[in-house]
Amino acid sequence: VNKKVDGEPAPRVLLVEGPAGAGKSTLVRHAALTQSDVVPTLLIDLVELLRWCIAKDKTALTLEHVFRFETCENGGGGSVGEARHEAFLKLAKHTPLIVVFDGFDEVAGATCP
pLDDT for 110 equals: 55
Q: Rounded to two decimals, what is the model's pTM?
A: 0.63
pLDDT for 35 equals: 72
Given pLDDT bands bounded at 50, 70 and 90, which one contains residue 39?
A: confident
Highest mean pLDDT: which range of 5-14, 55-64, 94-103: 55-64
Q: Say yes or no to pLDDT of 59 above 80.
A: yes
HEC string for the chain: CCCCECCECCCCCCCCCCCCCCCHHHHHHHHHHHHCCCCCEEEEEHHHHHHHHHHCCCCCCCHHHHHHHHHHHCCCCHHHHHHHHHHHHHHHHHCCCEEEEECHHHHHCCCCC
Distance between CA atoms of 90 and 104, rounded to whole angstroms? Answer: 28
